[in-house]
Structure 1
C-alpha cells in the first residue's frame, strides 16, 4: 500500500485511487504502524485545491467524508484545518451537495473555527465568484494593474493589485487566517457583475439553509464568551453582505431571528458587549436596510438590561443605555413625523420598541422616570401634530406613548408590569395568588360587582 501510494501521489490524474488507500490507512494505520498525516494533507490540501472541478472525484470525497465523519472528528484535525478547502466542493456544486453539507457542517465547527465558518458561509457567493474567475483566467503571467480607477468587472478586479489578495483569501486552503471585513464592501462592489451568474445564484440560495444549521449548533453548544464574540461579529456582518436582493433579505431575516435567540440564552452578553451595542443603536444610519435587526437590538436592551439577568447590571449601566436610546427616540420620531423615512411601518415599529425600552429602563432606575415621561409625551405631541403621516401609524404611536406615560405615573406598579417575573413563561406566575395577574383579576371582579 505504501508503494502504491507513493506511485499514485506523483500522478494526480489518478487521484480517485488515493481515497481507497486513505480508507485503508484510516482503518488499519495503528495495526501497520503507519501515520497517515502525509496522505491526509495530500488529498485535502493539494488534490482538493487542484481538482475541485472533477465531479467524480468530488462525489467520492464527499462520500468519504460522510462515511468517516466520526473518525475524522475524533482522530484528526482535517475538518477544522481544511474546512475552507472543503467548502469549495459546495461553492462549485451548490445544487448537488447541499444536503450532505447540512450533515457535515457541525463537524467543521469547533470553538476556534466556528466564527470563521460563519464568515465562510456569509461569503460563500464570493468564494464561488473567486473560483469562477480564477478558473477562467488565462493571463497568469501578466503583471497586476495598479490603476487608481475602480474595476468595473470581476475579471478586472482579479487583475488589480488591490483586489488580488481578496481572491486569494476566498480560495484559501486552510483556516485561521482572519477575516475580510475591512475591505469586503469594496470587493462586493468590484464583483457585482457576477451577481446573476447561475452558479452564484444557486450558491446564494444554499447559504440560508446552512446558516440555520450553524445557529442551531451554536445555540446548543456555545458558551457565553463565544456568544459575546458572535454578537460583535453580527453587528458588523449584518451590513456586509454580497449585493443580491433575495440573498440579503433571507440572510438578514435569519440573523435578526437568531440574535433574539442568542440574547434569550445568553442575556449576559448585553453587558459584555455594551460598548459595541451602544455604538450600534445610537446611529440612525445603522437602520437602513437592517430595520428588523436594529429593532431586535433595541428590544434586547430594554428586555435584558436588568440586574435580574446579570448582577453586573448597575444603575450606571442602565443610565448609559437610557442616554443612548433617549436622543435616538427624539430623532426617529421627528423623522417619521416629517416623512423623511423610506419605510414608515418599519421605523414606526422601531419607535414603538424604543418607547417600550425607555419605559422599562426607567422603571428599573426611578430617577429616570421624569425624563422618560417627558420623552414619551413629546413623541405623542409630535405624532399628533403631524398631518402627513398614515393615520393608523399615528394612532398606534400616540396610544403606545400614552399608555406608557400612564403606567409610569405609578412607579411601583410600572416596575411590576414592565419587569415581570421570569416564571411568567412557565404559567406559574398566572396561577400564584400573590402575582400581578391574580391581583388584576380580583380588582376586575370588585369593579364589576360594584357596577
Structure 2
C-alpha cells in the first residue's frame, strides 16, 4: 500500500489505492490495524494533490486513520492541508512533475553519500572533496531538504506530534508568497475540503475517542485557533468547527474545564490580541459559566477562573482598554467594530461571573461587587450595563437566579427551581421573568391580582 501511495500524484494510481482501501477496509483493520494510522501523511498527499473528485472515497477511510498514536498528529496535518498543497507545488516547480517520482527521491539526503566518502577515505586514503562550493542551481525556489518545516510537511509516515514553527523564516516566506499570488485550483479545493475533513474528524472523536485523548486535543486546538492558513472563508469555517467541537467536548466532560485551567486562563489573558482570540475567549467564558468551572467539587478552580474573569472585566472598565481619546486617529468603522466586539465579549464575561457565582455561592459577594462596578461605570456599553443590572436583580431572588443562571450540568430540585428540559410539556411562569425580555415598566397581563387573590 505504501508503494502505491508514493505515486500519489498519478490520478490512476490514486483512484486504485482508495478503491482498494475501501474494498478491504475490514480486513486491514483486523490484520493490520496500524497501517493507515502509520501512513496517513501519504494519504493526505494523495487527496491534497488529486482534489475533490476523490473526496467521498477519502472520507470513507478517514476515521480508520485515527488511533492513539495518530490522533493528535492527524489533527494538525488535516488543519495544514492547504499548506501541504503549497509545499507540494513548490516541490513541483523546483523539481518538475511529481508523476512517476516520490518526495523521498526528490528530498534525497546527502547522508549516504557522505558515509560512502568517509569509508572511501578510510580504506583508500583519498581525501573527501569539498562539496560546499558545488551548490547546484542558484534557483531560489529550490527546496531546502534540511528545513524542518518542509521535512515535517512532506513526510511520508507518522512520526509523532511535531509543533510547526509558524514564525520560522521558511513558513513566513511560504505564506507571504501564497498570499501575494493567485490561488491554484488544488489550493482552492483544499480550502473547501479541509473544513469537511475536520468536521468528520471531530464527529468521530466525540463518538469513539476516550476522554484523555479529547482532553489532550483541546489545548492544541486552542493554540491553533488563531494560527492557520490565511484565507478568510477558510478561517471562518474552520473556527466554527473548532468552536462546535470544543463546546461539545466540555458538554460531554465538564471536568475538562478544571483539568485545562492553565491553558484556559492563558487564552483569557490573550483575549484582545486578535479578533480570533477574542472569539475563542468568548466561547471559553460561556463554557466556564455554563458548566460552573467543572462543577461544585472544583471550588479552587472556580475561584481562580473567577479571578481571571474579574481581571478581564476590570481591565475593560479602564479608558485605556476602551481606547477612549484614540478613536479620532483610527478609522471609524474599525473603531466601531472593536467596541462592538469588546461589548459582546464583556456580555459573556458578565454572564460567566454571574453563573459561576450562582454555582459556587462563596463567590456571590465578589460577583455582586463586580457587577455593581459595571452598573455604576460611565464607560460601560449600554448592553453590558443592562446585563449587569439584570443579574444584580436576579441575585436577590436565589431560587429564580438558580433556575436562570444555574449550571446546565447540575440538576437541583427545590421550590422555585425550573427544569428547563421539561419546557416542552410543562408551562411554568414567574412574574420577575419579564426583566429577561428587556421590557420597560411593569409586565402586562390580561388579569388582575384580585382575580387570583380574593379581597379580604
Deviates more, 1:118-127 or 1:359-368: 359-368
Distance 2:140 2:65 in 1: 29
In structure 1, the partner of 2:144 is 159
Is the 1:144–1:159 Cα contact (8 Å) retained in structure 2? no
Return the alpha-carbon distance in structure 2 between the equivalents of residues 75 and 312 of structure 1. Answer: 45
Give the unaligned 5+ runs of structure 1: 1-42, 147-152, 387-393
Q: Describe the superposition over 1:142-193 as per-residue Cα deviations: whole angstroms up to 9, x where unpaired.
A: 97999xxxxxx9936x3385xx221121111111332233446655422121
Choose from 282, 285, 298 the match for 1:313. 298
Cα offset, 1:449, TM superposition: 2.1
Q: Equivalent residues in 2 for 1:98-177 (5 A)? A: 98-138=55-95, 155=141, 158-159=143-144, 164-177=147-160
List per-residue Cα deviations over 1:126-156 (Å, max 9, x = no partner). 111221222332497997999xxxxxx9936
Q: Distance in 2 between matches of 1:442 and 1:200?
A: 52
Q: SS of 1:97's equivalent?
A: helix
Q: Report what 1:409 is aligned to.
A: 396
Rate the CA distance shift 1:252–1:263 in 2: closer, same or farther, 3 A: same
Q: Which residue matches 2:244? A: 257
The yes-or-no answer on 1:395 pairing with 2:392 is: no
**Counterparts in 2 of 1:441 and 1:407: CA distance versus 1, 3 Å:** closer
Per the alignment, do residues 331 and 144 of structure 1 end up closer, same or farther by CA in structure 2, a change over 3 Å counting?
Answer: farther
The structural deviation recorded for 1:385 is 4.7
CA distance, structure 2, for counterparts of residue 385 and residue 326 of structure 1: 16
2:253 to 258, 262, 266: 266
- Contact persistence 1:282–1:328 (CA under 8 A): yes
Within the alignment, does 1:71 sit opposite 2:55 as a pair? no
Specify the SS of the correspondent of 2:52. Answer: coil
Alpha-carbon distance in 2 for matches of 1:310, 1:371: 19
Distance 1:430 1:352, change over 3 A: farther
Question: What residue number does 1:389 align with?
Answer: none
The structural deviation recorded for 1:311 is: 6.0
The reply on whether 1:93 has 2:93 as its aligned counterpart is no
CA offsets per residue over residues 326-348 of structure 1, 9 Å max, x none?
A: 01012234434736674333322
| Whole-angstrom distance in 2 between the partners of 1:409 and 1:425 | 21
Match of 1:235 among 201, 218, 222: 222
Q: Structure 1 residues 275, 325: closer, same or farther in 2, change over 3 A?
A: same
Structure 1 residue 208, shift from structure 2 partner: 0.5
**Does the CA contact (< 8 Å) of 2:309 and 2:353 recur in 1?**
yes
1:207 offset after TM fit, Å?
0.2
How much does 1:219 deviate? Answer: 1.1
Q: Does 1:191 align with 2:174?
A: yes
CA distance in 2, matches of 1:303, 1:58: 47
Which residue is equivalent to 1:178? Answer: 161
Matching of residue 359 in structure 1 with residue 354 in structure 2: yes
How is 1:43-62 mapped onto 2 (pairs within 5 angstroms)?
43-44=1-2, 46-49=3-6, 51-62=7-18
Secondary structure of 1:260's counterpart equals helix
Determine which structure has greater relative contact order: mean sequence separation of CA pairs < 8 Å that are 6+ residues apart, divided by chain length.
Answer: 2
Q: Which residue of 2 aligns with 1:279?
A: 266
Q: Is the CA contact 2:290–2:408 (under 8 Å) kept in the aligned structure 1? A: no
Report the TM-score, using the length of structure 2 for normalisation. 0.75
1: CA distance, partners of 2:446 / 2:298:
39
More helix per residue: 1
Q: Structure 1 pair 73/415, CA: closer, same or farther in 2 (3 Å)? A: same
- Contact 2:353–2:367 (8 Å) recurs in 1: yes
Quote the RMSD (CA, aligned, Å). Answer: 3.3
CA contact (8 A) 2:70 2:160 kept: no
Contact 1:282 1:325 in 2 (8 A): no
CA contact (8 A) 1:256 1:292 kept: no
The CA deviation at 1:110 is: 1.7
- Per-residue deviation at 1:222? 2.2
Which structure 2 residues correspond to residues 12-31 of structure 1 after superposition, within 5 A?
none
In 2, Cα distance between equivalents of 1:232 and 1:446 = 53
TM-score normalised by the chain length of structure 1: 0.75
Which ranges of structure 2 fall in alignment gaps of 5 or more residues?
A: 96-105, 111-130, 328-334, 412-418, 435-442, 452-456
Deviations 1:86-114 (A, max 9, x none): 11111101222112111111111123312
Distance 1:438 1:111, change over 3 A: farther
